């Protein structure tokens, strides 16, 4: 399976159920079920993560922003990776929500997920939600740009229209998103091989460590050999 911003890592156990969703629904990238007791480490991309727990007594439904850190599952949960424009569509200005975790019951568009039971229903609800929203020409242009990031290319940083679109739909500058994408790809490669794979993404190892600490709070070494990682 090729590495992309919408793919779960090959290091995931076979028991974890995973659906790769083609970009028909403009903000749904992938969906995964996580078993009781598992940990999933979210690689630092510009994506958001929707967490839905059928058993709300042990884990509340929430939208996790930004897409980084560790999710520990005290019961079975469903994770959905959403592209950055989902935050703009669901919550308005993404810059207001980049460092927040939002309970689905706190936002009208997310309330239906509180009754979701299992991965297929979460995917269906996301499709229904996306279908109910108007996709503007600017949003389609942003999605085209985001697909280039998923292919391992970088966003142009000198184009003012690109800067405006990316800031509007992702809440960050193209330069900041390029840095996150490089870091996520490098951490992914490290995780899959158990060693450092510079991929030419950083000037040297100390630069790599500094960027990783700044965006995840951990060193690259701490990310290696983790059992489950998720874009």
Q: What is the pLDDT along the chain (231 residues), one digit of tens a residue?
A: 333 433 332 233 333 444 433 333 467 788 888 887 787 778 888 788 888 876 654 556 777 666 666 777 767 788 888 888 887 887 777 777 676 777 877 788 888 888 787 888 888 888 888 888 888 889 889 988 888 888 888 999 999 999 999 999 888 899 999 998 888 888 888 877 777 766 667 888 889 999 988 888 888 888 876 656 665
Distance from CA of residue 195 to its chain's centroid?
23
Strand partners for 49: 64, 81
Q: With both helix axes pointing from N to C terminus, report the angle between 137-150 and 160-170 in degrees, rounded to the nearest 10.
A: 90
Alpha helix segments (H runs only) across 37-159: 85-91, 119-131, 137-150
- Quick check: 59 and 71 in contact, CB under 8 A? no
User: Tokens standing for 26?
Assistant: 């403009």
């Amino acid at each position: 399976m090729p590495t992309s911003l919408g793919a779960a890592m090959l290091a995931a156990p076979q028991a974890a159920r995973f659906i790769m969703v083609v970009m028909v629904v403009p903000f749904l990238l992938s969906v995964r079920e996580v078993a009781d007791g598992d940990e999933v480490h979210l690689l630092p991309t510009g994506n958001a993560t929707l967490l839905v727990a059928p058993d709300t007594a042990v884990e509340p439904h929430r939208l996790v922003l930004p897409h980084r850190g560790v999710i520990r599952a005290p019961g079975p949960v469903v994770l959905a990776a959403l592209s950055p424009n989902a935050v703009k569509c669901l919550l308005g200005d993404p810059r207001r929500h980049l460092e927040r975790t939002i309970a689905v019951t706190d936002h009208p568009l997310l309330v239906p997920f509180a009754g979701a039971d299992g991965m297929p229903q979460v995917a269906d609800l996301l499709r229904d939600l996306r279908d109910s929203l108007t996709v503007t020409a600017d949003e389609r242009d942003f999605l085209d740009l985001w697909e280039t990031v998923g292919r391992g290319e970088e966003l142009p940083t000198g184009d003012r229209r690109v800067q405006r679109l990316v800031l509007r739909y992702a809440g960050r500058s193209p330069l900041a998103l390029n840095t996150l994408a490089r870091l996520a790809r490098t951490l992914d490669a490290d995780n899959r091989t158990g060693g450092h794979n510079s991929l030419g993404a950083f000037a040297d190892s100390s630069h790599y460590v500094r960027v990783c600490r700044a965006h995840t709070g951990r060193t690259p070494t701490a990310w290696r050999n983790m059992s489950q990682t998720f874009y």
